[in-house]
Structure 1
Amino acid sequence: MSGAPVSSTSSRPAGRGVSWGLLRPQTLLVLFLLAVLLAPLVLSDFTVTLLNYVGLSALVALGLVLLTGIGGLTSFGQAAFVGLGAYTTAVLTAGTDLPPALAMLAGSPWLALLVGLLLTSVVAIVLGSVTLRLSGHYLPLGTMAWGISLYFLFGTTEMLGGHSGLSGIPPLELFGFPLTESRHYYYVVWLVVLVAVLTSRNLLDSREGRAIRALKGGRVMAEAMGIDTGRARMIIFVIAALHACTAGWLYAHLQRFVNPTPFGLHIGIEYLFMAVVGGAGHVWGALLGAGVITLLKQWLQDILPRLFGSAGNYEVIVFGLLMVLMLQRARDGLWPLLARLVPVRQEVKVIDPQAAPLPRKDQPPHGEVILQAREVTRRFGGLVANNAMSLEVRAGEILALIGPNGAGKSTMFNQLSGVDTPTSGEILFRGRAIAGLGARRIAALGMSRTFQHVKVLSRMSVLENVALGAHRRGQRGVLSAAWRLERAEEARLLRDAAAQVERVGLGEVMHDEAGSLALGQQRLLEIARALCSDPCLLLLDEPAAGLRLKEKQALAALLTRLRAEGMAVLLVEHDMDFVMGLVDRVVVMEFGQKIAEGLPEDIQSNPAVLEAYLGGVEA
């Protein structure tokens, strides 16, 4: 780690109150590393060999934790990427009669690893560009399709040895020393696994990692915060493929022989089981799941034939029943259960007060029109949700958009923020046409929003949720995050996020999980997240819903300060007392159309507005 100011993690009690008796995470890590280091010295050759296979499986399962457990993208085809790494090194180190282009690369297993990683990256990008466009059950079916295709490609290509496979693969060598024994090979396998775990944890604890973690529960929100969710999906798809490729390379030089059998769809399903059983949302769960399933399979293969004979595959039947039972009883996997049994201090972010502040955009001059909607119409088939809607918002004012339920306010909000596209009409933001531009690109121009139905990532802390809003204000990428080279930038992002958390009055719960907050607090969190993007226009969808009186007063005071600073605010709200005492102008909608616009006091006595809200006015 660099010596630059960092926003790292520190430990605090897992719950409120007494803190003695709790272990530090670093203590457990040291104990685990000691166990890994000493294992070959005290265990039998068979057990060490088994641990080698646990490590190889854990490497693949770790990629699936990132892809499936954290990113929400189910893949059954990872075994095919394992085969890609295995066959690449087999061909380059043991193949004969190679084409001239490949003969130049032949001979060195380490060079074969680089070639395999490059080839896997290209294949993963090509497959991902097609597969990741799918959603729902079509995505896992797509991964099955290319997984099966690659499996049969391995088995039917003459150069790859067909179903007979390739033999004569040389052992790995380190400094001229051949790794021919399992005990020697063990350290290489587990060094690679531990590096993969470390870099994965580093990645997830970063700006890029927050974008990845936003995929599973908040893609619409993430795009509105300026996150390129398509890029984030491709990143974890390629990372998972590279982990599998590396596992295949290690497997080939451990076995010294490859054939297609270990790279079929059934093995891909087994890898997915490992990630799920261990805890698909937890990096260390990959190691636990790989260990449990590998050892369980071995135990069943040893015990069941003695009880029932060797005529049937009873271990497969029992294994399947045990998996169903576990998925019923521990749907989040075994790692959360284990974590609850071990008293470990919870890690929290340390905010560096010396971190340089992030640059801010210049606010437009007070009174300048920054958002215009002209004759905006949105049709859904025969339903007209918005009909020729026009409005404008000026810098340094608060404009309320009100109307009865079903008036089309949220549809209008979605079109202004890029979540939806108008059927016709024009939307200008600071003089630029933005209709159809997309939420991410609009967010980059200086517009940010909250949502009618709160969109927070419940398992992330309040601080991390808010830091999502600052995503576009950082620049460092995946490699920097994986190797902790972006700590100075991360410190700046977290410092600004912490300032916004304090700004909305959530400082006391900054390090709590967002899912533990009351609804009103979650709405304040959304406002803090929107402010963290440094907008000049803030769109708030029912911000006062769920807030108590004092919280509403604090929110009104905050919005008043933002107005004084020159920020424009457009809000949808049903609390008329809150609206009329706060806003500068009001636009009223009914049945998708604007029926009134003006000052709050004029709107309150407008007959058309009274008709819309009360169903009629007295003569």
Structure 2
Amino acid sequence: MKQRYLIIIGLITLFLAPLVLPTFQITLLNYIGLYALVVLGLVLLTGVGGMTSFGQAAFVGLGAYATAYITTTEQLPEWLSWTAGSPWAGLLVGILLTAVVALFLGAVTLKLSGHYLPLGTIAWGISLYYLFGTMSSMGGHTGISGLPSLNIFGISLDKGEKIYYLIWAILMVAIWITSNLLNSREGRAIRALKGGQLMAESMGINTFRSKMVIFLISAIFAALSGWLYAHTQRFVNPTPFGLQMGIDYLFMALIGGAASVWGALLGAGVLTMLKQWLQDFLPLIMGGSGQYETIVLGLLIIFMMQRAPGGLWLILVKLTPVSWRNQHRIKVDTSAADLPRQALPKKGDLLLEARHVTRRFGGLVANNNMSLQLHAGEVLALIGPNGAGKSTMFNQLSAVDSPSDGEVLFLNQSLSNKTSRQVAQMGMSRTFQHVKLLPTMSALENVALGAHMRGKKGVLNALFHLERDEEQRLLKEAQYQLNRVGLGDHLHTEAGSLSLGQQRILEIARALCSDPCVLLLDEPAAGLRHKEKQALAGLLKKLRAEGLAILLVEHDMDFVMNLVDRIVVMEFGEKIAEGLPEEIQTNPAVLEAYLGGAE
């Protein structure tokens, strides 16, 4: 059975549910739909983007209180008089208010890292919660009652079984647009956040923008849930918008699968039903009233995080036949138009230059008066014993770090005050000493990340599936680069299941996908078998012949000597020799510094 048939059956079941289920069960389904909408935002923010938020309940409150104020206040301020007390105007005001608040809080909070980020979300979540309770215009802790029911085409949604259809229709649309987003160029940029900011920025991705996008979308989903909640209950008070509910939303995401779109629905359903069941039966077992369900749920969450960190949805997916899972494979349209390519500089043109670069870390001088040049159609090796300062120099050249003195020029432009993302956009691409891939993404998707800068379609196009032509061009380019480096048979293989040598080759394919003129390789042959090294050397020679400039830091001297045009040797942060491979092999200073201590 194909997945689309299961979806059709599920939609038919949802449609028929109010016709056969009792009112209480419909009420539970309404709550599940409302919760799932919030958790869907957490899938983007926490599961995919790697940013833990405890404050989503506060955004639910913004949506709920905005429409409550609009629809129940007898004398609205003049600047809100246009709303005429309409719940639909309340939706618009709630979304706009939430977007403004989210942009402000995101600008402040998303710059935090580590444990400071979730602590920051707790802080503003609690602040908004107490704001709801202390504003007399919002009814204080007593709340606001008398909200009108929603009305669509003259039909009043004044009962649970009526508003049920609106709740689940909105949820299905939200799931659809979220799936569209994640399966797009913008979605890959969002997923790249988990691979580390350095890797993503080096692919030309504006990581702060990507964070703001998913923070804003998750906040709007929460506000939409709050609007629906307010007109379902027709009453709001601060209680459902506090920190405890924010924690519950995170629990739902963890149970269902924090990185799974459909896991949001599964997690919301499981936790809601389980909590209801525990509230009914635990008092009978324990012989008294109390929040026993909270204790049991806490223990279950700990058990799940240990045994099933990917959530229940991932377990269900693994139980399905392989043929079903293969339906999710990305299809590449080989008839799509090729991406435009930049003309490579003429052979011998100076592309990258370091002029008297010195880098100090306090009293430690990691690089001292380092100079080197890299020309088009040349392979240059940077070698030296452990602690020579090669990695620091590599970071200066790629704009990850800035020199204390001296300067680095790329295409005759100084890299001072430029970010690694800006340098990537200029035509420089790189790999990493420690492989930085997204292990659960396919090889094809990992390589397509390298083409991020070569696409233009934005978030709105991705949400509504309007970027398919461009997406196919990017995927075709990724497939071409994988074939180019000899990994064409692994298009749909998860990157994490490839050997270390294959992962390094995959990084090179990703770097080539950006169409660079300069390629910086950090130990590309590490972990490769003999035949893989031969294939890599053949590839680099081919790229050199095409006019690409390549700088590499490498351990394997046999690999270096048989490949490169020139070598720069470092020791204690300084250049001690530069020349042809045969000159370096006989240089007394190199022999003294390097032999027996080579990396």
Aligned partner of 1:150 in structure 2 is: 128
Moved more, 341-350 or 398-407: 341-350
**TM-aligned CA deviation for residue 357 of structure 1:** 0.8
Helix, strand or coil at the partner of 1:574: coil
Whether 2:582 is the aligned partner of 1:601: answer: yes
Aligned partner of 1:276 in structure 2 is: 254
Aligned partner of 2:87 in structure 1 is: 109
Aligned partner of 1:216 in structure 2 is: 194
| 2:538 maps to which of 554, 557, 565 | 557
| 1:417-447 deviation digits (Å, cap 9, x = unpaired) | 1111211110000100013311000000000
Whether 2:433 is the aligned partner of 1:455: answer: no
Aligned partner of 1:16 in structure 2 is: none
Whether 2:384 is the aligned partner of 1:403: answer: yes
| 2:160 maps to which of 182, 206, 215 | 182
Helix, strand or coil at the partner of 1:545: coil
Q: How many Å separate the matches in 1 of 2:554 and 2:466?
A: 44
Helix, strand or coil at the partner of 1:451: coil
**TM-aligned CA deviation for residue 326 of structure 1:** 2.3
Helix, strand or coil at the partner of 1:262: helix
Whether 2:364 is the aligned partner of 1:383: answer: yes
**TM-aligned CA deviation for residue 406 of structure 1:** 1.5
Task: Indicate conservation of the 8 Å contact 2:444/2:491, yes or no.
Answer: yes
Q: How many Å separate the matches in 2 of 1:211 and 1:48?
A: 38
Q: How many Å separate the matches in 2 of 1:342 and 1:372?
A: 55
| 2:418 maps to which of 418, 437, 459 | 437
Aligned partner of 1:195 in structure 2 is: 173
| 2:480 maps to which of 486, 496, 499 | 499
Aligned partner of 1:17 in structure 2 is: none
| 2:325 maps to which of 331, 334, 345 | 345
| 1:372 maps to which of 353, 358, 362 | 353
Aligned partner of 2:185 in structure 1 is: 207
Whether 2:398 is the aligned partner of 1:417: answer: yes
Q: Which amino acid aligns with 2:556?
A: D
Identity of aligned residues (%): 66
**TM-aligned CA deviation for residue 481 of structure 1:** 0.5
Q: Which amino acid aligns with 1:586?
A: I
Task: Indicate conservation of the 8 Å contact 1:418/1:437, yes or no.
Answer: yes
Helix, strand or coil at the partner of 2:335: coil
| 1:477-519 deviation digits (Å, cap 9, x = unpaired) | 1110011100000010000010000000000111100000000
| 1:166 maps to which of 125, 136, 144 | 144
**TM-aligned CA deviation for residue 321 of structure 1:** 2.2
**TM-aligned CA deviation for residue 355 of structure 1:** 0.8
Aligned partner of 2:213 in structure 1 is: 235
Q: How many Å separate the matches in 1 of 2:230 and 2:474?
A: 43
Aligned partner of 2:516 in structure 1 is: 535
**TM-aligned CA deviation for residue 305 of structure 1:** 2.1
Whether 2:597 is the aligned partner of 1:612: answer: no
Helix, strand or coil at the partner of 2:403: coil
Whether 2:494 is the aligned partner of 1:513: answer: yes
Moved more, 440-449 or 563-572: 563-572
Q: How many Å separate the matches in 1 of 2:138 and 2:213?
A: 29
Task: Indicate conservation of the 8 Å contact 2:400/2:419, yes or no.
Answer: yes
Whether 2:456 is the aligned partner of 1:478: answer: no
Task: Indicate conservation of the 8 Å contact 1:76/1:272, yes or no.
Answer: yes
Question: Structure 2 length normalisation: TM-score?
Answer: 0.98
Helix, strand or coil at the partner of 2:225: helix
Task: Indicate conservation of the 8 Å contact 1:218/1:457, yes or no.
Answer: no
**Paired residue total:** 594
Aligned partner of 1:128 in structure 2 is: 106
Q: How does 1:193-342 map to 2 (within 5 A)?
A: 193-342=171-320
Helix, strand or coil at the partner of 1:389: strand
Q: Which amino acid aligns with 1:138?
A: Y
Task: Indicate conservation of the 8 Å contact 2:257/2:313, yes or no.
Answer: yes
Q: Which amino acid aligns with 1:189?
A: I
| 1:136-195 deviation digits (Å, cap 9, x = unpaired) | 111011000000000011011111111111111111111011011211111100011111
Q: Which amino acid aligns with 1:489?
A: E
Q: How many Å separate the matches in 2 of 1:28 and 1:610?
A: 68
Q: Which amino acid aligns with 1:588?
A: V
Q: Which amino acid aligns with 1:269?
A: I
Q: How many Å separate the matches in 2 of 1:202 and 1:607?
A: 61
| 1:581 maps to which of 546, 558, 562 | 562
Q: Which amino acid aligns with 2:7?
A: L
Q: How many Å separate the matches in 1 of 2:200 and 2:566?
A: 30
Q: How many Å separate the matches in 2 of 1:446 and 1:316?
A: 54
Q: Which amino acid aligns with 1:550?
A: K
Q: Which amino acid aligns with 1:589?
A: M
Aligned partner of 1:19 in structure 2 is: none
Whether 2:339 is the aligned partner of 1:358: answer: yes
Task: Indicate conservation of the 8 Å contact 2:37/2:171, yes or no.
Answer: yes
Helix, strand or coil at the partner of 2:211: helix
Q: How many Å separate the matches in 2 of 1:224 and 1:100?
A: 50
Task: Indicate conservation of the 8 Å contact 1:422/1:436, yes or no.
Answer: no
| 1:54 maps to which of 12, 29, 32 | 32
Task: Indicate conservation of the 8 Å contact 2:317/2:325, yes or no.
Answer: no
Gaps of at least 5 residues in structure 1 are 1-22
Aligned partner of 1:566 in structure 2 is: 547
Q: How many Å separate the matches in 1 of 2:540 and 2:227?
A: 58
Root mean square deviation of aligned Cα: 1.2
Higher relative contact order (CA 8 A, sep 6+): 1
| 1:435-468 deviation digits (Å, cap 9, x = unpaired) | 3311000000000000111111000000000000
**TM-aligned CA deviation for residue 615 of structure 1:** 6.1
Aligned partner of 2:505 in structure 1 is: 524
Q: How many Å separate the matches in 2 of 1:459 and 1:395?
A: 36
Aligned partner of 1:84 in structure 2 is: 62
Whether 2:408 is the aligned partner of 1:446: answer: no
| 1:509-566 deviation digits (Å, cap 9, x = unpaired) | 1110000000000000000000000000000111111111111111111111111111
**TM-aligned CA deviation for residue 107 of structure 1:** 2.0
Q: How many Å separate the matches in 1 of 2:583 and 2:374?
A: 18
Helix, strand or coil at the partner of 2:277: helix
Q: How many Å separate the matches in 2 of 1:313 and 1:462?
A: 47
- Relative distance call for 1:309 and 1:102 in structure 2 (3 A) is farther
Task: Indicate conservation of the 8 Å contact 1:81/1:245, yes or no.
Answer: yes
**TM-aligned CA deviation for residue 28 of structure 1:** 2.3
Helix, strand or coil at the partner of 1:566: coil
